[in-house]
Amino acid sequence: MRPIWNREENIVWVESIDSTQTEMCRVVKSGSTSVTVLGSLEQTCGRGRFGRDWYSPAGKCLAASFALFEYADWERPELLGMAIGLAAAQSLDLEIAWPNDLVLNGKKIGGIIADLPKNPIDQLVPVIGIGINLGITEFPSEIKETASSLVLEGRKSLRPEDALDLILDAISDIPEPRSFQSLQTLWSVHDVSIGKMYKLPNGELGKAVEVASNGFLTVEVNGLIQTFPSAEAWFGN
């Protein structure tokens, strides 16, 4: 992928923020391009997909958002999140469940969210947020059955800054995500989607059969095969 920051000053770390994602959307809308990567040691209003909260306790998680100015008006913005999820999976040796949940031993360790705010010249600038549970040992009751962290899965914890550095390095080696085919071979090494149950836009449950060469998910619902674009999973709440 194109480098997503130009100078070290474009990468900013803060102690605490409401949400790096919300803040980077504000930055894009303001027309500023001085910050491209924002990390925070803690988030007080972290946002997950589908309007869920994202638990981000101080120093125990990676919480960062990237404004991809170089990818303004990109034709397939959903592939950018898939590419960054792939970079995270490669650099931290994780699995990926379509479209870009980060998984270890069947538990959710992290995830990716995407927004498409408009800058003042009406370009849609992809803002990709990544959250990874590093040293978290206790989760809120509503997610404690499904969530886990590197430490709880027996891995060494990482400092959030070090985890981000590893991911940023890996991003620069990911092929340009013009089509899913450019990611597919690398992606399939980490993919654990097949057989997983997905809640479809109409509320039904479907069993994943395949991640197709266009990046769409093929699911079986009541014996019928249907295909869903990841954009729907991202933006369809």
Which stretches of the chain bind ligand BTN, using CB under 6 A?
Answer: 19-21, 43, 46-49, 52, 54, 56, 63-65, 101, 111-113, 129-131
Closest to ligand BTN by CB, 21 or 149: 21
Closest to ligand BTN by CB, 114 or 170: 114
User: Residue by residue, what is the 3-state secondary structure of 191-217?
Assistant: ECCCCCEEECCCCCEEEEEEECCCCCE
**Residue 40 CB, nearest approach to ligand BTN (Å):** 8
**Residue 112 CB, nearest approach to ligand BTN (Å):** 6
Closest to ligand BTN by CB, 23 or 180: 23
Cα(123)–Cα(147) distance, rounded to whole angstroms? 36
User: Mutual orientation of helices 77-92 and 160-173 as an angle, nearest 10°?
Assistant: 120
Enter the DSSP assignment of 51: G
CA of 79: how far to CAs of 18, 173, 179, 215, in Å?
26, 15, 7, 8
**Residue 206 CB, nearest approach to ligand BTN (Å):** 19
**Residue 154 CB, nearest approach to ligand BTN (Å):** 22
Residue nearest to ligand BTN (CB): 111
Closest C-alpha among 186, 173, 236 to residue 215: 186
Residues composing the chain: 237
Closest to ligand BTN by CB, 166 or 182: 166
> Which tokens in the block code for residue 228?
């869903």
**Residue 225 CB, nearest approach to ligand BTN (Å):** 26
Closest to ligand BTN by CB, 47 or 170: 47
Do residues 79 and 61 touch, judged by C-beta distance below 8 A?
no
